[in-house]
Amino acid sequence: MAQILDGKIMSAEIKAEIKAEIERGNLKVGLAVVLVGGDPASRIYVDWKKKDCAECGIESFEYVLPENVEQSELLSLIDKLNADKNIHGILIQQPLPKQIDVLAANERINPLKDVDAFHAENTGRIMTGDYRLTACTPAGVMEMLKRADISVAGKDCVVVGRSNIVGKPMAMMLLHEHGTVTICHSRTQNLSEICKRADILVAAIGKANFITADFVKNGAVVIDVGMNRGEGKKVYGDVDYEAVEPLASYITPVPGGVGPMTRAMLMLNTLTAKKLQS
């Protein structure tokens, strides 16, 4: 039976550590959260982030722009937030409406305030290993491995998914910890065979229950990044948990695994951003 990597417990520990550091230093830390339009899921995510801020002693500032906002208006808000000394982190909740050039918005954020680490300067730093602000989801996975004392060095690591926000930075971070890393995607041949070689398997695909027992080696560490909405409020991971859990040595649940760790890393990035700007 696998040990569960509990993201709720670990993220609560991380948030308590952040709060303690902020209190110890009597720091004033601010995060701006920008929401464009009225997407209900985005609204929920923004509310969660504001709650996380309150728990950590970080002040949150919410900016809501209409769905049909022009690109120039969003960019001028970013300019204003870049110049605001009370704001140390800027987060633009995604997805953004079609008329917005997401890349241009990401690039407009001062890299020192880029707490999602989507700016080219921060993604580039992940390549070189000279991290400052790191993509929250892969950073959350690395923190989970570290806190569970799971060593990456020399292990066969397979990451399924090559997105800029999860798969690619995940692979780089595992590589920097000396894993032997394979990145898979929709054109990969013999996917299940490759996954079955993994000591550490990370699924970041976006397809509910895609990773079945056929993909998993006995004793593997299985990290499920997927968050796939089912009917109602039910969320499914990319891993078929019931089938895979008996094989794995460690496994993350969905919900309650990587998701809360991602949010905790956003808080940690906000504190790091404050230090970088001081």
So which residues are the catalytic ones? 49, 93, 116
- Whether omega for the bond prior to residue 246 falls within 30 degrees of 0, making it cis, is no
- Least Cβ distance, residue 258 to ligand NDP (angstroms): 4
Task: Name which of 22 and 183 has its Cβ closer to ligand NDP.
Answer: 183
- Interacting residues toward ligand NDP by CB under 6 A: 137, 160-163, 165-167, 184-188, 191, 204-207, 225-228, 258-259, 262
Is there a contact between 144 and 3 (Cβ–Cβ < 8 Å)? no
User: H or E segment at 266?
Assistant: helix 258-277
Where in 82-241 does DSSP place strands (E)?
A: 89-92, 156-160, 180-184, 200-203, 221-224, 228-229, 235-236
Q: Give 109-113's long-range contacts (Cβ < 8 A, gap of 24+).
A: 109/78, 109/82, 110/82, 112/273, 112/276, 112/277, 113/81, 113/82, 113/87, 113/88, 113/89, 113/273, 113/277
Nearest to 44 by CA among 268, 256, 233: 233
Residue number, 77 or 260, with CB nearest to ligand NDP = 260
Task: Give the residue among 124, 138, 214, 125 at the shortest CA–CA distance from 169.
Answer: 138
Number of H-type helices and E-type strands within the chain: 10, 11
C-beta of 188 vs 212, nearer to ligand NDP = 188
Q: Alpha carbon of 143 to those of 2, 22, 187, 265: distances in Å?
A: 19, 20, 30, 9
| CB of residue 167 to ligand NDP, shortest distance in Å | 5
Tell me which residue has its CB nearest to ligand NDP: 163
Closest contact distance (angstroms) between CB of 136 and ligand NDP is: 7
Minimum Å gap between C-beta 254 and ligand NDP is: 8
- Compute the least distance from the CB of residue 61 to ligand NDP, in Å: 22
At 260, list the tokens. Answer: 């809360």
Closest to ligand NDP by CB, 14 or 87: 14
Q: Residues near 247 by Cβ (< 8 Å), separated by ≥ 6?
A: 2, 213, 216, 217, 218, 219, 220
Q: Which is nearer to ligand NDP, 48 or 131 (CB)?
A: 48
Minimum gap (Å) between residue 57 Cβ and ligand NDP = 23
**Beta carbon nearer to ligand NDP, 18 or 225:** 225
